[in-house]
Structure 1
Amino acid sequence: MASLTRAVTRLAATGRQAIRSIATTTPVSGHGDDVMEKWPADKFDNHFINYLSRPEIDGWEVRKALTELHDYDVIPDPKVVEAGLRACRRVNDFALAVRFLEAIKIKCGNQKNRDTIYGYIVKQIEPVLKELGIDTPEQLGYGEPEFFVPQPEYWWEKKWYKDYGYDKQPNFQY
């Protein structure tokens, strides 16, 4: 607390430099916390389901909840995904619903896990998707990039070649 007091005093005296010292000297709170240690799985799910199921929820709160959910190192349960999709529909934000599904697909990991885990989630929420009139990213054609052109000189793109089948094309080199 004394260092914070000194930093504030310097802020009054020197202006902008004290802001840098505050930012570099204050400890980060919550570092290393694991959500699953704090909450059991059912309480975690119920927290998001209850929050997203509120009838008076607005678009900002839906985005806040989905961002918070995405920040945790978990793949949400299909019940939570359904609540998120219903909330997106309630605020009439189709793009957010599709982005939410894309984020879940990305969180499922590599191609093998993505096919099994993401496929399971989509199969479980399929009745809700039909009820709300929401298409999956694959149904909309977002499963593969539209304008991806392989460029071998960019080393960071090589990992995408296999994902999108460019390594199987004849006469393709990288």
Structure 2
Amino acid sequence: MFRNAMLSGFSSVRNVKNLFFPSLANIKQGRVSAVCIRSMSKHSSETEEEFDARYEAYFNRSDIDGWDVRKAMNDLQGMDLVPEPKIISAALKACRRVNDYALAVRFLEAVKDKCGNRVKEIYPYIIQEVRPILDELGVNTPEEMGYDKPELYLESVYDIH
């Protein structure tokens, strides 16, 4: 639009400024031909099913690489949601296709973290739903690997009976 304004006779800075920042008087007199409006709200009309299908299809791409997998996982972590088990399964399969076992385990840790204060309700359900995929791919959960405890975790002498 700026280039078209320059070519159509708006040669002075004042006229170009009026095109992008029109005064109220110019708007009332009809001298403004174009006004840039930027919507500050980005409301999505995407349903939950469409969202799930979009991420599932993204992770199921045959040409996906490690960067793409990490990008999508990072985007999911930035959202205010816990991914559905079908998205998690597709992500774990994508980790297998790019041969990144550590990324699969870290993604499960991130999903557990996304469960927030309802981790005891949501996370067991997610693990139950993705268990067949975990077994098929040979991926252990962070709890099975001992990552849920500190590295030098020792049982308290007061807890031993």
Fold in common (TM above 0.5): yes
Aligned pairs for 1:5-44 within 5 A: 37-44=44-51
Deviation at 1:148, TM superposition (A): 6.8
Aligned mate of 1:86, from 65, 84, 93: 93
Where does residue 52 of structure 1 map in the other structure?
A: 59
Alpha-carbon distance in structure 2 between the residues aligned to 1:82 and 1:131: 11
Structure in which a larger fraction of residues adopt helix:
1
Deviations 1:30-67 (A, max 9, x none): 6x756xx5421101101110010001111110101111
Where does residue 120 of structure 1 map in the other structure?
A: 125
What are structure 2's unaligned runs of at least 5 residues?
A: 3-12, 18-38
Q: 1:41 to 1:126 in 2, by over 3 A?
A: same
Q: 1:39 to 1:147 in 2, by over 3 A?
A: farther
Q: Which moves more between the two structures, 37-46 or 85-94?
A: 37-46
Higher relative contact order (CA 8 A, sep 6+): 2
Where does residue 136 of structure 1 map in the other structure?
A: 141
Equivalent residue pairs, number? 124
Alpha-carbon distance in structure 2 between the residues aligned to 1:101 and 1:82: 10
Report runs of 4+ in structure 1 exceeding 2 Å deviation. Answer: none
What are structure 1's unaligned runs of at least 5 residues?
A: 7-28, 150-164
Match for 1:51: what amino acid?
Y
TM-score by length of 1: 0.63
Percent identity among equivalent residues? 46
Where does residue 115 of structure 2 map in the other structure?
A: 108
The structure with the largest alpha-carbon Rg is 2
Alpha-carbon distance in structure 2 between the residues aligned to 1:91 and 1:64: 14
Query: For 1:105, what is the secondary structure of its paired residue?
Result: helix
Alpha-carbon distance in structure 2 between the residues aligned to 1:43 and 1:69: 15
TM-score by length of 2: 0.68
Aligned mate of 1:75, from 70, 76, 82: 82
Query: For 1:76, what is the secondary structure of its paired residue?
Result: coil
Aligned mate of 1:99, from 99, 106, 128: 106
Q: 1:148 to 1:139 in 2, by over 3 A?
A: closer
